[in-house]
Amino acid sequence: MKRLKVLVTGGAGYIGAHTTVELQKSGFEVVVVDNLSNSSEDVIDRIEKITGERPRFFKADCADLSAFSKVLEEVGEVDAAIHFAAFKAVGESVREPLMYYRNNLQSLINLLQILTSSAKAAIVFSSSCTVYGQPDKENLPVNENAPLKKAESPYGMTKQMCEDILEDTAKAFKDNLKVISLRYFNPIGAHDSALIGELPRGVPQNLLPFVTQTAIGKREQLNVFGNDYNTPDGSCIRDYIYVCDLAKAHVAAIKRMLYESEMMEGNIEYFNLGTGRGLSVLEVISEFEKATGVKIPYKIAPRREGDVEQVWADPSKANKILGWIAETPLDEVMKSAWLWEQRLASDS
């Protein structure tokens, strides 16, 4: 039987690489397009080590229409695409808004332009809980019907704008385009082989990489950004989801579009991907310490600008419709992040 082919843009990145592994494990043929702006080709070797199969890889920038089109001409028709390729650093997006708008919007527009010219297209979009901003108290945990609030950063704006672009394009191409937008909460952890994981450049902005770098002694101490929020222990609350669980949701979304598209509500759907459990920053620290036995020195620091106070997912729509659940226990997730950090240290 012919294998179905999935194009993964940004497939050498953190979530993209884990998703490529899950797709291959589920029998899909994967083609990765990545400009390696925040990753390296070494990740492709590591994916091959895990799955025994090297995904086809093209170094190209999706924001460059002619380069991207050439790749697709060479690859031929794909059955589906997952679009990860985007910049994602909130602080950087505030300093370099044009770079974010240009890259994140242009890449998606190019992908849509190329794929809508074929008879049938199915696209999974990598969105974020950032589209909800700070939900009102009565909307927590947040479900897909909660109102979208104006994003706090250009990065967040690009996710909202990309969803609008997808919505309009889905409307215009009712007969040949299917879209699923996955709104991730906070992805953490690494593949249990410790061959792929998050590779922050410079000082990590996200919490877990900072925690693991502090654990290994690369950072002196962790700053907890604020302990005077209106939460039980005063620190911010998020929904931390294991990256391999997240990756599996992409496979489920692809299968829905390819095999059960008649069950879709229209040709565009949205799903929250989270665990349903909110954890405060202080709880993350203590859960990490409990799982690994390593103490994290930390201090309370001022609030970080632009942070929302608390947000966690109601994932029941994804649980029910995609038949997917974030199943990995938190201690295993923490251990995977720690193993990855140790692996990085021993490689360097």
Stretch that binds ligand UD1, among 34-42, 94-102, 109-117, 205-213 (CB under 6 A): 205-213
Q: Which is nearer to ligand UD1, 78 or 318 (CB)?
A: 318
Site for ligand UD1 in 294-323 (CB under 6 A): 304, 307-308, 311
| 288-325 burial: b if 16+ Cβ within 10 Å, else e | beebbeeebebeeeeeeeebbebbbbbbebbeebbebb
Q: Which is nearer to ligand UD1, 79 or 239 (CB)?
A: 239
Judged by CB under 6 A, which of 32, 124, 257, 281 binds ligand UD1?
Answer: 281
Site for ligand UD1 contains 196 (CB under 6 A) = no
Distance of CA 116 to the CA centre of its chain: 24
Answer yes or no: 155 catalytic: yes
Q: How many residues bind ligand UD1 (CB under 6 A)?
A: 21
Site for ligand UD1 in 122-151 (CB under 6 A): 128-130
Please, what is the angle between helix 97-115 and helix 65-75, to 10°?
30
| CA dihedral (136, 277, 202, 36) positive or negative | negative
Judge contact between 239 and 230, C-beta under 8 A. Answer: no
Site for ligand UD1 in 221-240 (CB under 6 A): 222-225, 236, 238
Q: Which is nearer to ligand UD1, 55 or 278 (CB)?
A: 278
Residue 76's alpha-carbon distances to 45, 70, 72, 346, in angstroms, are: 23, 10, 6, 41
Residue 120's alpha-carbon distances to 114, 194, 228, 271, in angstroms, are: 11, 37, 51, 22
Q: Which is nearer to ligand UD1, 158 or 186 (CB)?
A: 186
Say how far apart CA 273 and CA 245 lie, in whole Å: 9
14, 100, 132, 155: which one is catalytic?
A: 155
Contact positions vs ligand UD1 (CB under 6 A) = 88, 90, 128-130, 186, 205-207, 210, 222-225, 236, 238, 281, 304, 307-308, 311
Which residues are known catalytic residues?
155
